[in-house]
């Protein structure tokens, strides 16, 4: 971590709630930061009714959630990247940029959870983002489907594709890489799936079980 596969570096991302913690809490963030080293942690980001960025998978109705600012304060002494899985792209996204800049974390943050309809809201921030895609098994078999997906992703300004691991295929990975795009697969919680994705040459693996790495994923 980072590992290499097919001569490409690959990072591992500790999913929100990894290592048996409650997702999007101080405990979860700290556990991921302490364990993942030079990899990434993932947190889900929404906004409180007053526009404060908070860590939550579901919509929030009050101000009790752990805040993104608290997360950034915890992350400062560490080296991990911070994957902001943005659940509300139409919220106060400018505040996310302000906080990341204030805590010196802009080089370490990036977005996932971004759909095509979200791009206009985040593109001007200058924070890298992956496009969430759901190609499906049948669609992936259609002639030219992967190439069209890669072209769309590049036009939308994303650095790569973020998709469920079971839809990550050799052809998709090759096509994305040929287009200069990264491939991030989620959520990968078995050693067998990790080894399959490493063999495919993906660039990132998101997992709730980064401790499997200690037991020796064969790269």
DSSP state of 117: G
Residue 50 exposed, middle or buried by CB count within 10 Å (0-12, 13-18, 19+): exposed
Residue 53's DSSP bridge partners are: 47
In the predicted model, what is the mean pLDDT of residues 191-219?
87
Candidates 5, 36, 31, 22; CA nearest to 210 is 36
| Average of per-residue pLDDT values in the chain | 93
Helix extents (H) in the chain: 26-36, 68-75, 93-102, 119-122, 137-141, 145-155, 170-178, 191-200
In the predicted model, what is the mean pLDDT of residues 118-140?
90
pTM: 0.93
Q: List phi, psi (to 5°) of 135.
A: -65, -30
Per-residue confidence (pLDDT) for residue 216, from 0 to 100? 59
Q: Is the pLDDT of residue 95 over 80?
A: yes
In the predicted model, what is the mean pLDDT of residues 54-63?
95
pLDDT per residue as tens digits for the range 45-58 = 999 999 999 999 99
Domains of the chain with CATH codes = 3-215 (3.20.20.190)
Residue 167 exposed, middle or buried by CB count within 10 Å (0-12, 13-18, 19+): middle
Per-residue confidence (pLDDT) for residue 63, from 0 to 100? 87
The token pair at 155 is 């036009």
pLDDT per residue as tens digits for the range 143-172 = 799 999 999 999 999 999 999 999 999 999
- Helix, strand, coil percent values for the chain (each to nearest 5): 40, 25, 35
Share of the chain above pLDDT 70, in %: 92
């Amino acid at each position: 971590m980072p590992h290499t596969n097919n001569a490409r570096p690959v990072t591992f991302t500790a999913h929100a709630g990894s290592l048996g913690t409650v997702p999007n809490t101080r405990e979860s963030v700290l556990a991921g930061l302490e364990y993942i080293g030079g990899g990434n942690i993932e947190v889900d980001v929404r906004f409180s009714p007053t526009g404060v960025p908070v860590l939550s998978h579901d919509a929030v109705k009050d101000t009790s959630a752990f805040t993104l600012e608290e997360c950034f304060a915890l992350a400062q002494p560490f080296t991990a990247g911070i994957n902001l899985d943005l659940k509300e792209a139409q919220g106060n996204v400018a505040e996310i940029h302000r906080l990341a800049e204030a805590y010196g974390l802009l080089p370490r943050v990036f977005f996932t959870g971004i759909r095509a309809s979200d791009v206009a809201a985040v593109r001007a921030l200058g924070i890298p983002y992956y496009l969430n895609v759901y190609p499906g098994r049948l669609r992936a078999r259609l002639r030219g489907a992967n190439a069209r997906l890669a072209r769309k992703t590049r036009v939308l300004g994303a650095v790569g594709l973020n998709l469920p691991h079971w839809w990550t295929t050799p052809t998709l990975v090759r096509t994305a890489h040929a287009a200069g795009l990264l491939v991030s697969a989620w959520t990968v919680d078995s050693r067998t799936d990790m080894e399959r994705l490493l063999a495919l040459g993906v660039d990132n693996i998101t997992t709730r079980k980064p401790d499997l790495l200690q037991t020796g994923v064969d790269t």
